[in-house]
């Protein structure tokens, strides 16, 4: 449980470690915490922002900055991140995760644990990665997912990212559990898609959890309800 803070603490700047729940957008978490802080302390305005978006279907560490600490958001966003999750082999989705339905299935009869573990090595180090079309990146003033949902094709450029660690932690049939340590700008959904493509069987992300950002760990994060409970009452 986080320690009780005063309105001066939040205005001067706090770094809050939140364990983002499933099906919440990062923006919804920011809005909820901002509203709760404003209501608790009866203030009209306070800066609140997050340091690195998590998709609605992802859970885990979200760094929330308040007040003057929002100036540090860029530095937090640039730090190395760690994720755990599951890739399902043998099928693909347009969004590269479970936001959209499976659109193609492929044979997996050629797969072996050794092949799966060896293929990981193709993705270690600096690589070129194409962001998913279902993403919030902007092109010509529109989010990429707006083009995708309208069925419009759009040219997406690859960008350089760095994968420090890509570890297969366990294999359960076609469910590949992994841990990834990567640079800013890495899309784990794209990594799942590209990994399946490299294995000639397709793949998509079925679960994702961010466990670390720099020195910050989800072990030290609190859920939204616990944060709200920590706010002082009757102020």
Residues with catalytic annotation?
Answer: 55
Q: Are strands 203-213 and 58-66 parallel, antiparallel or unpaired?
A: parallel
Q: Which two tokens stand for residue 218?
A: 């989800």
For 22, 164, 206, the CA distances from 121, given in Å and listed in that order, are: 30, 11, 21
CA–CA gap between residue 125 and residue 108 (Å, rounded): 27
Residues 6 or more apart whose CB falls under 8 angstroms from that of 130 comprise: 156, 157, 158, 190
CA–CA gap between residue 95 and residue 97 (Å, rounded): 5
CA–CA gap between residue 42 and residue 59 (Å, rounded): 30
Beta pairing partners, 49: 65
User: How far is Cα of residue 124 from the mean position of the Cα atoms in its chain?
Assistant: 19
Burial-class residue 128 by CB neighbours within 10 Å (0-12, 13-18, 19+). exposed
3-class DSSP assignment, residue 5: coil
Q: Phi and psi of 59, rounded to 5°?
A: -120, 175
Neighbours of 27 (CB within 10 A): 13
């Amino acid at each position: 449980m986080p320690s009780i803070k005063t309105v001066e603490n939040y205005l001067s700047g706090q770094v809050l470690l939140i364990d983002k729940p499933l099906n919440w957008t990062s923006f919804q978490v920011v809005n909820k915490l901002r509203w709760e802080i404003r209501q608790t302390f009866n203030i009209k305005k306070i800066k609140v922002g997050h340091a690195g978006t998590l998709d609605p279907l992802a859970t885990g560490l979200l760094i929330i900055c308040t007040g003057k600490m929002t100036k540090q958001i860029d530095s937090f966003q640039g730090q190395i991140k760690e994720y755990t999750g599951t890739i399902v082999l043998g099928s693909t989705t347009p969004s590269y995760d479970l936001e959209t339905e499976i659109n193609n299935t492929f044979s997996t009869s050629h797969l072996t644990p050794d092949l799966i573990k060896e293929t990981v090595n193709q993705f270690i180090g600096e690589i070129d990665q194409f962001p998913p079309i279902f993403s919030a990146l902007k092109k010509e003033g529109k989010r990429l997912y707006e083009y995708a949902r309208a069925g419009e094709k759009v040219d997406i450029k690859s960008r350089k990212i760095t994968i420090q660690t890509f570890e297969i932690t366990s294999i359960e049939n076609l469910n590949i559990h992994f841990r990834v340590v990567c640079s800013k700008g890495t899309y784990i959904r794209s990594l799942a898609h590209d990994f399946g493509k490299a294995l000639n069987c397709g793949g998509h992300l079925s679960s994702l959890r961010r466990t670390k950002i720099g020195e910050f760990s989800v072990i030290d994060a609190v859920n939204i309800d616990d944060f709200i409970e920590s706010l002082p009452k009757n102020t």
